[in-house]
Each structure stands twice: as structure tokens, then as C-alpha cells.
Amino acid sequence: MKFKLAITLGLIGLVSMSIGLAMWLGFMPKLVHNRIANELYISNTSNGDIFDTFRTTPNGTIRYSIYFFVIDDLTKFDLMNINTIKFKEIGPYVFDEIKIKEQIEFNADGTNVSYLERRKFEFNQKLSCEKCHRNDEITVYNIIHAMEQEQLDQTIKMAIAAKDDELLNSLTGFIYKDEVEKLLITGSENLGKSILGEQDLNKCVINTGKEEIDRLTEFLSYGDKSRLTYWDDSRGKHCNTLLGTDARQFKPGLTKDDKIWVFEPMLCRSLYAVNEILPNEDVKDIPTLRFVIHHNNFDRNIMNECYCYEKDPRECMGSLLNLKKCDSSSGFEIMASPGFFYTNTKLLNITGLDRIVKPEQATVDDYGTIFDIEPHTGILLRGEKRLMLSVKVRKHAVPKLAKLSSEYQIAPFIYLIESGEIDDENADRLKEKLKPIKILRGVFIGLTVIGCAMILISIIIFASR
């Protein structure tokens, strides 16, 4: 009797476990993938909430937090090393950002969509520091020294010819003064541009995911070109390869082993991120995979030589990206880096910022760029882009810098954090869409567990005969 019972329980358990495993490992992924493919692809005729989210970011979900490195003491500047200038960090100055896609056009079969993206900024006094106001005048290292040399020389000659001593001093002196909102958003008369508020006039074309859901929102072209043109192809054509999405959406069905790509217009390049550098975190009770921009994107190595504008690639410092050909900084040698140079902490000493953040404190945990992504849908639930912007100070930019101890040094300018998080309404909507997946997973796992338990019981009964 016990023998028959053991065999019966064992067979039932084996069938239950097999069904559970087969459904979870085989049927379930395909079912989830097909359902998501039908719901997530971008279309202007169906799935209206997807199109609305694609077209406009919800108010208050994206913001910039800006910290300036203002000159606190210039009296000890020895004219040889920028780190003898004492800088002080002030901020944050917080601006809410709204991204609106315009001139949206789908191709005939709906597999790609083109658009221009306009950005609006509003100063958020409540989240800014207590004494921070949009019209504050700040004093930073002279950004004009970052102007490309030929243009700077011409401007200085014009000032000399016009006998305009005030203009000449503003060009050759060490300090630059401007109002926060003018410098960042509305446009500075002195620079002829703004740091963040310049509108991107490059038409974007992305994959809608209609036929290739794994390529959902991937860039197909930028500025009517399928390849970038900012970097030196003779040192490696991969630097101008256009890869990735705008970081708001990634391919559905992400796993911890995937490498994801992001195209960042501010840096005019693509970067990759990986999982398992930092622990995963839930966002509004939704499990996510945390991806982090990898330090290899910024290291000084042979693969990154095509991002170097110096004649000798060895003259390019690791973790510094020259933005002089990028639309946002065109004509100025503004250098971009990960937050507080955590990928090359020697730069803290070179800039003098080791007075603010010690090298051992500059870690990926606090200063890395992160993406918390719901893996089934590939939707970004929370992200933080952390970047430093610095001024490239060339030895012969102006006569007063002739004694500089190296061909160029770096003066800290801005630390910025662009952050975003899914709002409550969309989080609740996503939870509803994920419920069937959770239920099915529970059923299949339950079948597997019950099957294992029945097999174990059958073994115990068989052994006790």
C-alpha cells in the first residue's frame, strides 16, 4: 500500500513540478513578451497612454539640481596651478524640466517615428537651497578662457582695437560673473548661449517597437544622420556609432546580464550601463534592476582615443570629455566628467576640489549615473544623471596664464544632477499591468513547490516501508 502511495505521489509531484518549470521557463517568458509587445509599442492610433507619455513628460517628474563652484579666494592663485584657487560649492539651484516632442511623424508602416524635442525649465524655489534665487549673481572661473583659441584671439584683438578696457578685462581676467538663470537657461549675453537651455534642433528618428520590440525607442538617426560626426573616425569609428535610447525606455525583458546603451545629446555620444555594480532597489513598491554607467566609458584607454581632440591621445586625461563640438557647448572647451571625478580621483587634487570631497569619498554610490528599470517592460522608473562640467584652462589662452605649470588644467564649474522618478499615477497603472504576470508567476512557482514537496513525501514514505 505504501509503495503504491509513494509511487503515485511521486508521479503526481514530478508532473506538477515539470509543468511549473516548463511553464515558467518556457511558456511564461514568451507570453509576457508578446503581451508587452502589444501594449508598449509607440503608435498614435492605439495605446493612447503610451503615446501621451512618449509625447510629453509628466510635470514635476524630471528636474535639474545645479551646484556651482564659485571662487571663494583668488588671492593665493600662484598663476601656475588652478588648485591654488579656493573654490566653494553653492546650491542646489533646482529647475523642473518638461520635455515636449513636436513635429511628430510616423513612417508609412509605423515602424519608426521622427520628432523634435523642446525643453522648458521652471525654477523650483521650494526645492532649491534657502538662500538660492534664480537671479543670484555668481562668480566662477572665467568661462571665456574655454573659448576655442582662434575665436578668443580674434575677440581679444577686437577689444584692443576698440580700446575697450572693460571688455578686454572680462576676456583676460580670471573671474566671470553672471546671473544664475541667464547662465543656465535663458542665455548669457557674455557667452551668447546658455549651459542647459539651448534647444536641440536635431531631428530624432527612433524605433517604435512595432515590429522589433527589443529595439523599442532606439535611435535610428540624430540630426538626419545615422552616424554621429563629432569624433575622430581615424582613431576609431565606434565613437561615432549611434547606439541606445534616450534612457526613458529600454528593451522589455531585461535581465541582469544585459548591457544597455544610452545616447546623451549633451555629451554627443552613446554610453553603456550594466547591472550588479550597485544593489537593486524597489521604486514605489515595484522591483527594478539598477543599471550604472560603467567607468570604462570614461577611462583613458585605446578604445576611448577617438574621443580625444589632442594631437597626442596621451595628453587627454582620463574621465574628461571635451564638448567643444557638441551643440550645447559649441565653440567652448567645456569638459564633462562623472560626478566629482569618481572615475579619476586625481582630478580632485588638480582642481582643488579635494577640499570639498576627499578622494576616498568620491564613489560610484554617491556620484555614479543610475537607472532603475522595471525589467518586464523596460520602463525607467527612477534615474539620476550626475555630471561635472569644468573649464579647460589652456596655458596660452591669455597672457596671464603663460606661467601655467602644464599645457592645460581644469577649473571646476558646475556639478549637475538630472533626476526623474515615475509619478504615483503612472506607478499605479504599471502595477495593474504587472499583476497578471505576478499571478501567473505565483501559480507556476506554486506548482513547482508543490511538486517538489510531493516528491519529497513520496521518498519519505518509500524509505519508511
Which residue's C-alpha cell is 560673473? 177
pLDDT at 276 over 70: yes
β-partners of residue 65 are 94, 417
pLDDT on residue 59: 63
Question: Can you spell out the DSSP letters for 283-332?
Answer: BTTB--EEEEE-GGGTS-SGGGGGG--SSSGGGSPTT-EE-TTSGGGTTB
- Tell me if residue 420 falls in helix, strand or coil: strand
For the segment 339-384, what is each residue's pLDDT rounded down to a tens digit? 999 999 999 999 999 999 999 999 999 999 999 999 999 999 999 9
Residues 174-195 have a mean pLDDT of: 91
For the segment 38-84, what is each residue's pLDDT rounded down to a tens digit? 778 898 775 567 788 888 887 667 999 999 999 999 999 999 999 99
Q: Between the ranges 28-37, 183-192, 245-254, 445-454, where is the mean pLDDT highest?
A: 245-254
pLDDT on residue 460: 58
Residues 296-304 have a mean pLDDT of: 93
Percentage, residues of the chain above pLDDT 90:
73
Residue 340, C-beta contacts closer than 8 angstroms, at least 6 positions apart: 348, 353, 357, 362, 366, 367, 388, 415
Q: What is the DSSP pairing of strand 289-293 with strand 269-275?
A: antiparallel
Q: Which amino acid is at 84?
A: T
Angle at 337 between CA 335 and CA 339, to 5 degrees: 135
Q: Where are the domains of the chain?
A: 59-422
How much is the mean pLDDT over the chain? 88
Residue 209, C-beta contacts closer than 8 angstroms, at least 6 positions apart: 37, 40, 41, 42, 215, 216, 217
For the segment 399-439, what is each residue's pLDDT rounded down to a tens digit? 999 999 999 999 999 999 999 999 998 899 888 887 766 54
Nearest to 268 by CA among 307, 304, 215: 307
Residues 281-299 have a mean pLDDT of: 96
pTM of the predicted model as reported, rounded to 2 decimal places: 0.88
pLDDT on residue 338: 96
pLDDT on residue 35: 66
